[in-house]
Structure formats: C-alpha cells, structure tokens
Amino acid sequence: MALVDPNDSSRETLKAMLLGMDTVWLEADCSRYEFFPDIVDQTTPDVGVISLDTDSTAAIKLIERITRETPDTALLATSAVSDGQLILQAIRAGAREFLTLPLVEEELSSALGRISQTKFGGGDARNRSCEVIAIAGATGGVGTTSTAVNLGCVLAEESRNSVALLDLDLALGDADVFLDAIPDYTLADVVQNIGRLDIQLLKKSLTKHSSGLYLLPRPVELHDLEAIDTESLRKVVGLLKASFTHLIVDLSKTYNALDMIAIESASKVLLVTQLDLPCLRNVVRLMMSFDETEGLAERVEIIVNRAGLDAGQISLKKAKETLGREIFALLPNDYRTMVEVRNNGVPLITQAPKAALTQAFRDVAYRLTHRETGVTAEEGAGADDHANNESRWKRFWPGAAKA
C-alpha cells in the first residue's frame, strides 16, 4: 500500500492506523501529489490512498492519472468533506472507495476488504488475516523445530494457504536442515535491507520448499546476529504477516526480547513439552511468566511430543494435574521415522504420509484452521474424529488407560 497526503497531521494519523493493521504493509508514504505517480510506478502497491483535502482539483487529476497509467493499483480517496459532488468526482476519476476523515479503523478495514474482494476474489489468500503461530519449547531437544517444520508443511498442503516459517533460533537453528534447503538469503540479509523491501522482494528472499512452505532461516555467521534488534524484527514480522495467511515462528530456548516480539504477535503459542518432570516444571514456570502479560496465557496451547516413550514418562492424568490445564495435542513417539526424516531432509508428509505421527500433525493443523475459519457442521462432518484426537493417541504410551 502507498499513501499520499500533503497534510502532516492527517498523514501521520493514517500511517499509524495502517501500520497497526495485520493485513496491511505500508510500502511508501508521500507528502507531494506530483511525486506520487513515480512512487506508485516503483512500488506497484495493490492499494493507493489519496487524501483530497489539500488540493482537491490536483488530487482528482492524480486519481485519473494513476487509474490510467497503473490500473492494477486500486485507489481509495479520503477527505474531511463529505460533499456529494466531491465523492462523485473521485469515483468517476477512478477511486474504488471514498472514506470521510477522521477515519474509523473498522470502516477502513471494511473498505480494504471490499477492494481485496474485487481485486483478488473472495477465496484469495490475500483477503485473509495472517495467523501467527509461535512454537516454543519447555527445554532444548523437545522437538520444537520438527513441530514447526512439519506443521508448516501440513498447512502449506492446502492450496488456500500461503505459509512462511521464520527460524528465530538465531545461533543454533536448523529448520533449513529439516528441509534440506540451502538458502540464498537469511534473516540477517532481510533485516539489513528492510528499508527497501516490498512484498515481492521479500518472497524472492525466502527459500521455497517443494511442499509450498517458505523459509526465512537464521543467519549463517554468528556475528550477523548483532544486526537483528527488536525494531527490525517487528518490521520483518509485519511484512511477513502482510504476505502470508500463516506465519510459523520457531523460537529459541532463551525467551529473549526477540522471542517475546514473536510471542506478542502470535495468535497462538504452541508450547512443546515431554512428559518428564524437568519439562513439566518448566511449563509451570513459563505459564506463570506468561500470566504476567494480559491475554497471553489464553493463547498458549500445550503439545506433548514423543507420547508413548517408555522411559518412565509421567501419566497424562498426573501431567494435567500438575499443569492445571488441558493438553491441546499428543504427538506419538516414532523415533525411527523422525531419524529418517531428519537425515533425509524431508518432511513427514513426504517421508511417511500415512504414519500416525503425520496424522497427528494433520489433526493439529485441522484444529487450528477449524478454529480460525469457523467451519459449519456440514463442512466439518468428520469433526468428531478430530475431537477424539487425544484418546486416539493414548494407546501409544503406557499407563494411558489409567489416566
């Protein structure tokens, strides 16, 4: 999106509103009508916002010019004057929508939705807000990266989804290894060029896997970590959210300031644990910390990985009592398959599409997307099977019948 408004006050107000919207990426803003055609030509935004108030005659001519020269850019006109003649002139000149200042966020969102509906079609992924899923771990080695990669690949199977994976384990992340990918660019490269990136350039900077999943990996060199700060990461996350329907973030185990940026942006935090005492104690500690941030604990879901491992696991019933909350999903232990997956650099949906573990990931993806899309009873005829996901996996580990 690009914006032109010669009035500093109203331009800054509109910028702040646009930057706060999940589905919007503001590529450029401008204070001069005469410069705006060049900006549109260089950035090719999907939507251009033109304020009419400083010089309505010049603004109407600008709408006519951009409509003629760059018809792929839909135009939205704004004005503090709700004069019918001015509205008619703007629409006749080529504006798709007209909004009266001061803007109300709901009205702006609805107008952008109508433009997107017309421009991309009702079923297009770009008409959906981004679901950010942060994958956190109770400790190292519990399977956060395998969860992030395989969940991402399952989601990317659906043609209506566009999915990106951000590896935020900056020192030792290995999401690229799980996908057998040799990236041309990393998070450090994107951060260093964030000022001139647009959505098209961002996608070219990501590594696309055959599953459809896009990967933005951790830096190659450790000294590149210094370039990544909270402000630059916010911008990267914002651009990714504007580009994809799902963003999966594989967090580090340090829960540092960068991890917290991702957690705060997340609509869901999947906390991966195993059923042993150190992991469960850490889950309790983390939940106590999450409780300090309003609304965060409600967005956290607990996933038990390697359920069925024989090495003295705590029972599910005892784990629930310890945690004081339900388990969102159980991922059955399948050591042999996971070794093959990691060594071959392929996701479960490719290496073992019929494995119980693969189906468990599909169940997780189903429950996440079922929640966000509001599937009707007719559309979700098989929902009862998914609702019984937990009991289905109990047979994989000892003591489950007593839980």
User: Which CATH number covers residue 359?
Assistant: 3.40.50.300
Q: Calculate the average pLDDT of the chain.
A: 87
Query: 372 and 306 share a domain?
Result: yes
Identify the DSSP state of 324: T
Across 93-121, average pLDDT:
83
Residue 380 pLDDT level (bands cut at 50, 70, 90): very low
Q: CA 110 from chain center: how many Å? A: 21
pLDDT digits (tens, 9 = 90+) for 294-335: 999 999 999 999 998 766 689 999 999 999 999 999 999 999
Which of 71, 106, 125 marks a domain boundary?
Answer: 125
pLDDT of residue 249: 99
- For residue 371, which phi and psi values (nearest 5 degrees)? -65, -40
Query: 271 and 188 share a domain?
Result: yes
Domain count of the fold of the chain: 2
Query: 98 and 37 share a domain?
Result: yes
Neighbours of 6 (CB within 10 A): 16
Which of 125, 150, 168 marks a domain boundary?
Answer: 125
For Cα atoms 343, 346, 352, give the angle at the middle one, nearest 5 degrees: 100
**CA–CA separation, 293 vs 75, rounded Å?**
39
319 touches 275 (CB < 8 A) = yes
Q: The domain containing residue 289 runs over which residues?
A: 128-402
pLDDT of residue 198: 66
Query: 296 and 164 share a domain?
Result: yes
Query: 173 and 121 share a domain?
Result: no
pLDDT of residue 395: 40
Q: List, as one string, the DSSP characters of 181-200.
A: ---S--HHHHHHTGGG--HH
CA distances from 326 to 142, 205, 304, 398 (A): 19, 39, 11, 19
Q: List, as one string, the DSSP characters of 1-23.
A: -EEE-S-HHHHHHHHHHHHT-TT
Query: 45 and 59 share a domain?
Result: yes
For Cα atoms 17, 112, 117, give the angle at the middle one, nearest 5 degrees: 160
Query: 158 and 115 share a domain?
Result: no
Q: List, as one string, the DSSP characters of 329-369.
A: EEEE--HHHHHHHHHHT--HHHH-TTSHHHHHHHHHHHHHH
CA distances from 363 to 27, 301, 373 (A): 37, 14, 15
**CA–CA separation, 349 vs 359, rounded Å?**
9
pLDDT of residue 278: 95
**CA–CA separation, 285 vs 290, rounded Å?**
9
**CA–CA separation, 388 vs 359, rounded Å?**
13
Query: 61 and 151 share a domain?
Result: no
Q: CA 278 from chain center: how many Å? A: 30
pLDDT of residue 388: 47
CA distances from 365 to 313, 362, 400 (A): 26, 5, 24
155 touches 245 (CB < 8 A) = no
Q: Write the single-letter amino acid at 178.
A: F
Which of 83, 98, 125 marks a domain boundary?
Answer: 125
Across 344-366, average pLDDT:
96
Residue scoring higher pLDDT (180 or 27): 180
Residue 382 pLDDT level (bands cut at 50, 70, 90): very low
Neighbours of 221 (CB within 10 A): 8
Query: 140 and 243 share a domain?
Result: yes
Determine if the pTM surpasses 0.85.
Answer: no
CATH of the domain at 51: 3.40.50.2300
Query: 250 and 119 share a domain?
Result: no
Across 168-197, average pLDDT:
92
Query: 293 and 245 share a domain?
Result: yes
Residues 6+ positions from 365 with CB-CB distance below 8 Å: 151, 154, 155
pLDDT at residue 199 tops 70: no
Query: 40 and 141 share a domain?
Result: no
**HSE on the CB side for 186, CA within 13 Å?**
21
Residues 6+ positions from 369 with CB-CB distance below 8 Å: 155, 158, 161
